[in-house]
Amino acid sequence: MITFWLIVSIAAIIIEIVTLGNLICIWFSVGALVSALLAWLKIKVLFQYIAFFVVSIITMLIVRPLAAKYLRGNTVPTNSDRFIGKIGKVTKDITAESWGEVTIQGIVWSAIGIDNQEIKKDTRVRVMAIEGVKLIVKPIED
């Protein structure tokens, strides 16, 4: 059984390399290595399979979020985040069903209200976040 688990581990590593590190199955390699260790210790095959699945799932739940956070290489920084916190004016009603428009420093943006809040035209708003190409805004209490 040791040979089987080592083959599974190596196959998972090869698949990971072929997919250019897209984190497809590296956790299966870890699970297979743990199962190979259990096979070497002469633990029953049923427990080897259980260990394989449990370790693979735990490894995936731990590694994937961390790797996604640190290996995200295609993020292109922009200057648009400078608008967060700025005040603008709604130039087209924002409804729960459709985006509106907000003008800030002469630039017209698509916008939605925070928590799908409806905001009427000519209302002053503060930019809370930017999501894609739209602003997320909140009305300013005067």
Q: Which domains does the chain have, with CATH numbers?
A: 2-70 (no CATH), 80-139 (2.40.50.140)
Q: According to the model, what pLDDT value does residue 51 have?
A: 97
Residue 68 above 90 pLDDT? no
Q: According to the model, what pLDDT value does residue 82 have?
A: 80
Q: According to the model, what pLDDT value does residue 92 have?
A: 95
Q: Identify which has the larger pLDDT, 133 or 89.
A: 89
Q: According to the model, what pLDDT value does residue 3 have?
A: 95
Q: What is d(CA 64, CA 68) in angstroms, rounded to the nearest whole number?
A: 6
Q: Identify which has the larger pLDDT, 48 or 65.
A: 48
Q: Which whole number is the average pLDDT over 124-141? A: 90
Q: What is d(CA 140, CA 142) in angstroms, rounded to the nearest whole number?
A: 6
> What is the tens place of the pLDDT at every residue in 2-56?
999 999 999 999 988 888 767 788 889 999 999 999 999 999 999 999 999 999 9
> Could you tell me the pLDDT band of residue 136, with boundaries at 50, 70 and 90?
very high
> What is the tens place of the pLDDT at every residue in 74-120?
555 567 778 889 999 999 999 988 899 999 988 899 999 988 889 99
Q: According to the model, what pLDDT value does residue 127 have?
A: 93
Report pTM. 0.51
* 125 CB-contact burial (10 Å; exposed 0-12 / middle 13-18 / buried 19+): buried
Q: What is d(CA 101, CA 89) in angstroms, rounded to the nearest whole number?
A: 8
